[in-house]
């Protein structure tokens, strides 16, 4: 059941936030890997987290530029 009529910008922000949370779940993926694989897996995790955070940042910037509306019809925030 949908309780709010979120704007498309906020939907994007929430989706990107889920991506960050999903990426975070792989934080210790390398823990049980062979020693020679650990540096590669560690770097891959950090790169994936950077990308997810960068995408979240862009989504937040877009949401702010569009007036920080939660729902369609909300008053726009003026910067």
pLDDT in tens, 46-61: 999 999 999 999 999 9
Q: For residue range 59-76, what is the model confidence (pLDDT) as tens digits?
A: 999 999 999 999 988 989
> What pLDDT score does 1 carry?
62
Confidence of residue 20 (pLDDT cuts 50, 70, 90): very high
- How large is the average pLDDT for residues 36-50? 95
pTM higher than 0.85, yes or no?
yes
CB atoms within 10 A of CB 10: 21
């Amino acid at each position: 059941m949908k309780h709010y009529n979120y704007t498309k910008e906020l939907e994007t922000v929430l989706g990107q936030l889920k991506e960050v949370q999903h990426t975070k779940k792989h934080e210790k993926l390398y823990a049980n890997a062979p020693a020679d694989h650990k540096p590669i897996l560690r770097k891959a995790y950090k790169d994936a987290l950077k990308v997810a955070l960068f995408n979240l940042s862009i989504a937040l910037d877009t949401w702010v530029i569009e007036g920080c509306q939660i729902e369609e019809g909300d008053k726009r925030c003026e910067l």
